[in-house]
Amino acid sequence: MKNRENLKTEKLNECEEFHGTINGPDDEDFHPEEASKSLRQALEAGIQCDDKVLIQVLLKHDNFQRQKIAAAYEGQYDRILVDDVEEVLGGFFLDCTLALLQPAHLYSTKMLHYAISVRFLF
């Protein structure tokens, strides 16, 4: 029994070294203006859009931060980020990107509505 407890303690100690890569809204390295500038530069290329930059910026931040980035984008460029994304992207990548840019409560509501409506179709 003691070996089992020691093993659990060792595993917990090993896990303490790991942590998530997304920081919260109080992160001192969070600069929505810089992120919105990177997004604008990536989207300006049109069909040649730099997908890697979009992925890097959107996945590096949590939902709250993405909302701040979208607001900074609109403030800096007088353009709506979602509209610019819709102009450039398509397919599943567009769907995924739009899902990341929606506020969490709206996305959850949309998915719940979809799940209920699909269930009643069958």
Reading the chain (122 residues) residue by residue, the pLDDT tens digits are 556 666 555 655 555 555 555 555 567 778 999 999 999 999 987 777 788 999 999 999 999 999 999 999 999 999 999 999 999 999 999 999 999 999 999 999 999 998 888 776 65
CATH number of the domain within which 21 lies: 1.10.220.10
**Which pLDDT value is given to residue 93?**
92
pTM: 0.72
- Count of structural domains within the chain: 1
Q: In whole angstroms, what is the distance from residue 106 CA to residue 36 CA?
A: 22
Structure-block tokens of residue 10: 């060792």
- Residue 8: its pLDDT value, please? 55
Measured CA distances, 41 to 37, 46, 93 (Å): 6, 10, 18
Q: What is the domain range of residue 42?
A: 2-121
- pLDDT number for residue 10: 61
* pLDDT of res. 117: 86
At position 93, the amino acid (one-letter code) is F
